[in-house]
Every structure is written in C-alpha cells, then in structure tokens.
C-alpha cells in the first residue's frame, strides 16, 4: 500500500488511520465513490461506540450467514467500492469457499469505477466478475437508481445476496423479490440492517476475515447442522443485543465522562491560571 503520508506505528489510532489511507487510495484509483469516504466516517463513529471489536452477537450472525451461504443454490456476493478497497482478497477467498458468484453493483455507477473494481477483484484472485458485461444486464424495476442494473447470471437468479455496506432501497427490493439478504453494517438502525435476514453489526475489515475462518470450520458440517444454525438465528434478537451493547457502553462511559486515564491526570490543570 502506498501511503500518502507515513503513519507512525506507535500512533494510538494507527490501525484506523491505515484503513482511512486504504480508502483514500481506493478513491484515487476510482474504486471508492466520494460518498464512500463519508459512509466510512459514519461506520467509524458506530465502531468507536461499540469499542472497535467483534462482539459475540456479530459472531452469531456470521455463523448463521456462512451456514446460509453453504445451504444456498445460487449465492451471490455483491461488490461495491468500499468492499473492493478494504477487503478484496478476503472477500474473494470467502466467495470461493462458499461457492458464491461475485457481482459488481454500484450506487454511484460509472464505467471507470466498474473497470477499476473489476481489476481489483481479478488482482485479488477472482476468476469471474459479473455485473460489468452489458450483454448480461437486466433491470430490477423496484429500484430507481443505478443499483437496478443486475446480471442475469448473478443477482437476477440468486436465492441469497450478500450486500455489505448497502443502501436500504436495494435491500428492501431484494427482499420483496423473494431473495434472502445478508449484510454487514455497523449501524443497527440503518434500513439495510433492519430489512436484512442477517445483519452482522461489525466492521467490514474484521468481519470478512472472521467469516473466512468460520467458513473453513463450517465447510464440513452436515446440511442438517447448517439448517439448524439458520433456523435458530433471530435477527431481531441480534439487533436488540447490539443496541443494548451500545446503550450499556455509553452508560458506563457517561458515568466516567473522561475515559482516558492519562487525560484524567491533566484535569483541572491550567497554564493561564498559573501565577
């Protein structure tokens, strides 16, 4: 990765800065949309509140999601700019383990971006990338924006679609078209989080590698065991726990006010009041 500036490894927010740099680099290469940078900021805010870790409720959603992909006849992984910039390799790897097709589907669709994302996926090891070839393009008429263009070999015939970082319109349309939807969204209140069958409330950069690990574990499961994981899964419960976790974390933090120990040592100290 070519950084625009050197991130000091001992910076307390080094990992977060590295992710930002990856997105900026993706933006420079036409992979990420301008709005993708803004969307990331929203995600960061929720991640901060959630303590920037993968919670048990996310693991439970991940297990059900991976089981659902294994059970599906035509699983399709939708790819947008943020996904391609942040986790291309792991996303491609996961699609291979569960036997899913990859389809580029962009809110801010341009030919340049389609080509740049396709290139990134091929470099990450993808063998086939759908959603770019106009010969196979059809329209999902319930959607008014650019995401309405879908591939007849992919989302059109999918029984389940993975849509990390998605806008609510398409999630709704996919559900209304009889498709199951799995999403990753740090905001449990987003329309996508609410409409999906399975919502993984976690950061994309942690969730996808975790999904790869869990897919390796579940790949030898019997169909009945996979079905069990999906049947027992309750998205309402998972979203409730995610919101409850936010509530409790905020409550604990609010009781302290200042939550950084070192900063506390400086409380009440003033230069301007020194004689």
By CB under 6 A, tell whether 151 contacts ligand PTJ: no
In the list 98, 100, 150, 186, the residue contacting ligand PTJ (rule: CB under 6 A) is 186
**Signed CA dihedral, 19, 24, 27, 28: sign only:** negative
* Among 87, 22, 83, residue whose Cα is nearest residue 14: 22
By CB under 6 A, tell whether 87 contacts ligand PTJ: no
How far apart CA 32 and CA 25 sit, in angstroms, is 8
Residues between 27 and 56 with contacts to ligand PTJ, criterion CB under 6 A: 33, 35-36, 39-40, 42-43, 46
By CB under 6 A, tell whether 148 contacts ligand PTJ: no
Total residues contacting ligand PTJ (rule CB under 6 A)? 24
Residue located via tokens 């990992």: 15
How far apart CA 180 and CA 161 sit, in angstroms, is 6
How far apart CA 26 and CA 37 sit, in angstroms, is 10
Shortest gap between Cβ of 113 and ligand PTJ (angstroms)? 7
198 - beta bridge partners? 182
Question: Which residue number, 43 or 75, has a Cβ lying nearer to ligand PTJ?
Answer: 43
Question: Which residue number, 165 or 172, has a Cβ lying nearer to ligand PTJ?
Answer: 165
Shortest gap between Cβ of 34 and ligand PTJ (angstroms)? 8
CA distance between the termini of the chain? 51
In the list 198, 204, 214, 230, the residue contacting ligand PTJ (rule: CB under 6 A) is 204
* Among 49, 96, 95, residue whose Cα is nearest residue 203: 49
Which region, judged by CB under 6 A, interacts with ligand PTJ, from 161-169, 211-219, 237-245, 247-255?
A: 161-169
Shortest gap between Cβ of 117 and ligand PTJ (angstroms)? 8
Residues between 61 and 80 with contacts to ligand PTJ, criterion CB under 6 A: 80
In the list 114, 166, 169, 180, the residue contacting ligand PTJ (rule: CB under 6 A) is 166
Dihedral angle, C-alpha 4, 187, 179, 120, nearest 10 °: 10
Question: Which residue number, 204 or 230, has a Cβ lying nearer to ligand PTJ?
Answer: 204
How far apart CA 178 and CA 192 sit, in angstroms, is 16
Shortest gap between Cβ of 209 and ligand PTJ (angstroms)? 13
How far apart CA 184 and CA 162 sit, in angstroms, is 9
How far apart CA 182 and CA 77 sit, in angstroms, is 9
By CB under 6 A, tell whether 188 contacts ligand PTJ: no
Measured N-to-C along each axis, helices 34-49 and 81-98 cross at an angle, to the nearest 10 degrees, of 70
Residues between 99 and 138 with contacts to ligand PTJ, criterion CB under 6 A: 106-108
Please give the residue ranges that form the binding site for ligand PTJ (CB under 6 A).
Answer: 33, 35-36, 39-40, 42-43, 46, 80-82, 106-108, 165-167, 184-187, 190, 203-204
């Amino acid at each position: 990765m070519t950084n625009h500036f050197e991130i000091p490894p001992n910076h307390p927010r080094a990992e977060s800065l590295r992710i930002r740099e990856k997105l900026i680099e993706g933006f420079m290469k036409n992979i990420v949309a301008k709005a993708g940078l803004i969307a990331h900021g929203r995600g960061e805010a929720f991640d901060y509140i959630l303590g920037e870790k993968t919670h048990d409720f996310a693991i439970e959603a991940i297990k059900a999601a991976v089981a659902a992909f294994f059970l599906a006849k035509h699983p399709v992984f939708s790819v947008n700019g943020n996904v391609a910039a942040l986790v291309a390799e792991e996303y491609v790897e996961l699609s291979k383990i569960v036997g899913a097709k990859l389809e580029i589907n962009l809110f801010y669709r341009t030919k340049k971006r389609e080509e740049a994302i396709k290139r990134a996926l091929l470099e990450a090891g993808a063998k086939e990338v759908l959603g770019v070839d106009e010969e196979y393009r059809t329209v999902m008429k319930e959607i008014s924006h650019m995401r309405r263009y879908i591939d007849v070999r992919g989302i059109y015939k999918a029984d389940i679609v993975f849509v990390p970082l998605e806008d609510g319109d398409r999630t709704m349309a996919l559900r209304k078209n009889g498709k199951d939807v799995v999403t990753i969204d740090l905001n449990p209140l987003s329309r996508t989080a609410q409409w999906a069958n399975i919502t993984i409330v976690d950061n994309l950069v942690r969730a996808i590698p975790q999904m790869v690990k869990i897919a390796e574990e579940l790949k030898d499961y019997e169909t009945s065991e996979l079905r069990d994981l999906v049947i027992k899964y309750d998205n309402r419960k998972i979203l409730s726990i995610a919101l409850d976790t936010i509530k409790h974390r905020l409550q604990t933090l609010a009781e302290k006010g200042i939550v950084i120990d070192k900063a506390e040592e400086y409380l009440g100290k003033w230069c301007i009041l020194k004689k």
